[in-house]
Structure 1
């Protein structure tokens, strides 16, 4: 088992992101759960899920900070 001290910065960030996302879903739930969704939206969500699963996670946070001049 890997300890926090053994993790890379990216591994730690990923673990924290996953934990925060899980907790938010647990606390807030999905207000749209059970409602029908349009076919186009469903297809887009499935494409996004596949992109995340294949390692495409969008623009890195650090890049957004630099792009917005928030450094």
Structure 2
């Protein structure tokens, strides 16, 4: 069957199903159930503590420059 052969209601249903499937695929976490390595977890905790203590990070513009990207 081709789209031109669908009724308006059938087309609407097809679009709704397609949108629902797309949204569902975007919400799936590919890392679900995986473990974070202890050293990565510690780096994240250290970064969080520094941020909470008011320490600033590296500006995005500087990172972009190091990677050869333009930052607007």
Q: Which has the larger radius of gyration?
A: 2
Structure with the larger RCO, 1 or 2 (CA within 8 Å, 6+ apart):
2
TM over 0.5: no
After TM superposition, the score normalised by the length of structure 2 is 0.38
